[in-house]
Structure 1
Amino acid sequence: MDIHPEIAALRRDRSPQRDAQAAMERARIAWRAEPGAQQMLSELERFGAGAGLEQCPQLEKLFTECGEAERLMSLLSRHYCAALRDTPIGHPPFRTGFDGKASSTLLARSGRAQLMVQTREPGFYGADAITLSDAARYDAVLAGKAEASIVRVRRAGEDRVYISAQSMPLTGEERIALDRSSETLVVERVEQRLVSLQLMRDAADPDPKRTYDLETGKLVNQSAASVAISRQEAMIALLGRMRRSDVAPELARIALAEKDVSLRWQALRECIALDSECGFCTLARIARTGDDSLAAAAGALRAQLLETYPEFVRLEAEKCPA
């Protein structure tokens, strides 16, 4: 393997790396000392704990007026770019992702809220579907030029929505507030690099994320709204792959008692796979509970299993109490 001489030097002597990160820390402190920066971060903590945006005057100013967000982000760029110019191997302390066309940089997170900078490079951004989540979102468009639409939905049944779109050209000055449970911003074409500051806060007890086909309005995917729920789903799937039939009663309890629909469905499916009697009786019980949000899906799966596997007919009659 060829190793660049400068990288090899860093492996022998790590002091330049320590110096570079010290420069990043000085940049962080210098930016936070700028007027309004520390107040913004302090208010992010209150906002993340549930305070209204109107109770956070500096945050509200960023996302309702032009000028303040631009000033603070320009100062942030100035401090960190100066540090990188002097120490190019430094790493700014922000989580960043880039897929070749769009990037996201997480500036701060507190409680249920997060503050990030998002960019999109010039080009076309086609979308076949939209994903909605139980969250509030505020955008401050800082620079760029793009064609976009605010897409809104209203329910048309358990697994379908009506979709409408409102065209919104972006010119670098917009301030946008979105209820992400029923609306989202879809960027279709970027003419000049689009840069936005975004504030997002999840609901205290969020519903699952749902993805809908833009053309038909049909629900195409549903996933957990929180990292904690996703982690539980992954553990349940692992238990299924390990063929741990001894956990079937606990999976049945989760399917019956937990609130998150996605987690309950994952537990129910794995319970059926691990212990057909325990799982099918739990499925039948949910299907018969009219006010259960899983009743329709459980009823459809029950009918499918009864048709495909006749032995479940006998099982239901003998083992599953009405």
Structure 2
Amino acid sequence: MRIDPILSSLRRDAGPQRRAQRVLEAVRAEWKADRGVSEVLAQFVDYGAGRPLADCPTLAAVACDCGRASAFLAPLINGLVAELSRHPIGHVPFRHQYASGISVLLLGESGRATLSLVTYQNELLSGRSPAQSVCFTGGERYECYLAGSAEACIVEACGETDQGARLVERQLGLDAGETLALDGARVTKLVTRVPQRLVMLRLSRVPERPPPAREYRLADGRLIHRASGSRRESREEMMIALLGRMGRTDAGEVFANLAGSAGSEHLRWEALRQCLSLGTAEGFAALSRLAADRDNVLAAPAAALRSRLASIHPELACLETGPCRA
């Protein structure tokens, strides 16, 4: 195994690594201190807090005009590239990731908003089968295409029901100098061909109350998956599922209370499911209370589940803690 002499030298002295990092962080600090950049970033904070983009004119100009976007990024990119050529062991001082032909450099994150430099490379579609489904996650997104080109399919969900939606597709070319704005609750984008690479500046913001993420089958628009659109709720749902798989019966009362609360329907139903799995008596009692609460949006599905369980297991009737009006 060959180890580059530069990396080998770091075993003896980590000083060059620290110096390289200081230089790159200085480039970032100088970029942020620029008057024009600092104004954009200040309005980005306001946008992340919920301010309309129309009320953030400097940020809007960068997000919706490729010339302004390039001018905004040029000092940072030029500075980082120059210093990386002199200090190749340095790390770009922004969160970044690469997976399956897509690289993301997170330039800023504030509140509900993110500002990213994104690259699609031709490896994105190498060896992949055509997409079989499409997902709508909510939120607004603005993309400025700075270099390269790609072919994409814009998919719009119309007439959504609990079973599916009518998907309307439109082919679109993405070229440097163009921009695109998407309402993620109704419209999404599938990249179908990348000749070499496509580089974009992306500004996005999730809603204050995100709608559920929905995945539809492209062939017929059938709904194949639904999940919470909130990261917080997704984490809570994972914790509930984990406690259920661990058999933590001491969490049953907490789950029963959560099922009858005023939170997300999806999260409360998962809490009810896990409550039933942890303890039949406590879970069935929580199910009966929910079914009897006519003002609760989950009352009808809870009543249907209660009736089905009672018909399969008549002995559950003796677990009732009170009359059920379902």
TM-score, length basis structure 2: 0.88
C-alpha deviation, 1:241, in angstroms: 2.6
Task: Decide whether the 8 Å contact of 1:277 with 1:315 is kept in 2.
Answer: no
CA displacement, residues 39-69 of structure 1 (integer Å, 9 cap, x when unaligned):
1111110000111111111111123223011
1:67 maps to amino acid: G
Matched residue, 2:99: 99
SS at match of 1:51: coil
Task: Decide whether the 8 Å contact of 1:149 with 1:186 is kept in 2.
Answer: yes
Bigger mean CA deviation after superposition, 231-240 or 79-88: 231-240
Distance 1:167 1:186 in 2: 10
Q: What pairs up with 1:269-288 in 2 under 5 angstroms?
A: 269-287=273-291
Correspondence 1:76 to 2:40 = no
CA displacement, residues 129-182 of structure 1 (integer Å, 9 cap, x when unaligned):
222223111111112222112211124422311211122211122221111111
1:50 maps to amino acid: G
From 304, 321, 324, the counterpart of 1:321: 324
Q: What pairs up with 1:177-196 in 2 under 5 angstroms?
A: 177-196=181-200
Task: Decide whether the 8 Å contact of 1:30 with 1:79 is kept in 2.
Answer: no
Seen in structure 2, the aligned counterparts of structure 1 residues 19 and 304 have a Cα distance that, compared at 3 Å, is: farther
From 201, 206, 209, the counterpart of 2:210: 206
Identity %: 38
Task: Decide whether the 8 Å contact of 2:240 with 2:270 is kept in 1.
Answer: yes
Seen in structure 2, the aligned counterparts of structure 1 residues 246 and 191 have a Cα distance that, compared at 3 Å, is: same
Distance 1:316 1:154 in 2: 45
SS at match of 2:181: strand
* Structure 2: runs of 5+ lacking an equivalent: none
TM-score, length basis structure 1: 0.89
SS at match of 2:196: strand
Distance 1:292 1:155 in 2: 25
Distance 2:258 2:210 in 1: 18
From 222, 227, 230, the counterpart of 1:223: 227
Task: Decide whether the 8 Å contact of 1:208 with 1:260 is kept in 2.
Answer: no
Distance 1:291 1:152 in 2: 34
From 158, 163, 167, the counterpart of 1:163: 167
2:77 maps to amino acid: S
> Size of the alignment, in residue pairs?
321
2:26 maps to amino acid: R
Q: What pairs up with 1:242-261 in 2 under 5 angstroms?
A: 242-261=246-265
Distance 2:306 2:139 in 1: 33
Seen in structure 2, the aligned counterparts of structure 1 residues 82 and 2 have a Cα distance that, compared at 3 Å, is: closer
Bigger mean CA deviation after superposition, 19-28 or 220-229: 220-229
From 132, 137, 148, the counterpart of 2:141: 137
Task: Decide whether the 8 Å contact of 1:103 with 1:120 is kept in 2.
Answer: yes
Task: Decide whether the 8 Å contact of 2:66 with 2:145 is kept in 1.
Answer: no
2:86 maps to amino acid: D
Distance 2:139 2:256 in 1: 30
Task: Decide whether the 8 Å contact of 1:150 with 1:186 is kept in 2.
Answer: yes
Distance 1:287 1:174 in 2: 53
Task: Decide whether the 8 Å contact of 2:292 with 2:324 is kept in 1.
Answer: no
Distance 1:258 1:45 in 2: 30
Matched residue, 1:55: 55
Distance 2:3 2:306 in 1: 60
Distance 2:208 2:98 in 1: 29
2:166 maps to amino acid: Y
Seen in structure 2, the aligned counterparts of structure 1 residues 17 and 178 have a Cα distance that, compared at 3 Å, is: same
Bigger mean CA deviation after superposition, 79-88 or 116-125: 116-125
* RMSD after superposition: 2.5
* Structure 1: runs of 5+ lacking an equivalent: none
1:146 maps to amino acid: A
C-alpha deviation, 1:310, in angstroms: 4.3
1:139 maps to amino acid: E
Task: Decide whether the 8 Å contact of 1:222 with 1:262 is kept in 2.
Answer: no
